[in-house]
């Protein structure tokens, strides 16, 4: 199903997965932001809860099992074309989670998957919203 020039926003679920002082990142294999490093996640399926989507997407993209901690934030991601029409529109529900098992390996829509030290996230991420979400998730993690 084509997600460009949508009639309504797509609901995406992103997950900030922490392991000690590291965060799990994937290299995007599909637009938007193809080739960029980001959080694992994807589109919620009909009949699936946000929590179920979070577990499924992390497993499909990285092979990692998680324990969800809670909601970090909801972010709108939109891109317009040269004529000003909405080319992409996602409403992203970002969750925080702790790693439970598995070694990262790229799967599904990911070209790469790896642990990155929290101190180095700005070296790997281009979208400042992702950096903000990771930092806000740390507060949730420390509870």
Tens digit of each residue's pLDDT (9 = 90 or more) over 43-66: 999 999 999 999 999 999 999 999
Query: 22 is written with which tokens?
Result: 């590291």
DSSP 103: -
Residue 28's alpha-carbon distances to 34, 61, 107, in angstroms, are: 5, 10, 10
What's the mean pLDDT in 104-128?
94
Structural domains of the chain, with CATH: 10-142 (3.90.79.10)
The pLDDT of residue 41 is 95
Mean pLDDT of 113-138: 96
* Average pLDDT estimate for 66-85: 96
> Per the structure block, which two tokens stand in for 132?
């903000």
């Amino acid at each position: 199903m084509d997600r460009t020039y949508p009639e309504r926003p797509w609901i995406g679920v992103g997950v900030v997965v922490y392991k000690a002082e590291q965060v799990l990142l994937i290299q995007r294999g599909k637009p938007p932001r193809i080739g960029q490093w980001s959080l694992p996640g994807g589109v919620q399926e009909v009949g699936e809860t946000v929590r179920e989507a979070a577990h499924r997407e992390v497993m499909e993209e990285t092979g990692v099992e998680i324990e969800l901690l809670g909601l970090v934030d909801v972010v709108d991601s939109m891109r317009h074309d040269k004529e000003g029409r909405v080319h992409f529109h996602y409403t992203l529900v970002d969750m925080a989670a702790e790693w439970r098992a598995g070694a990262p390996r790229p799967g599904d829509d990911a070209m790469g998957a790896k642990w990155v030290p929290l101190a180095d996230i700005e070296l790997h991420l281009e979208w400042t919203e992702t950096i903000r979400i990771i930092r806000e998730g740390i507060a949730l993690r420390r509870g």
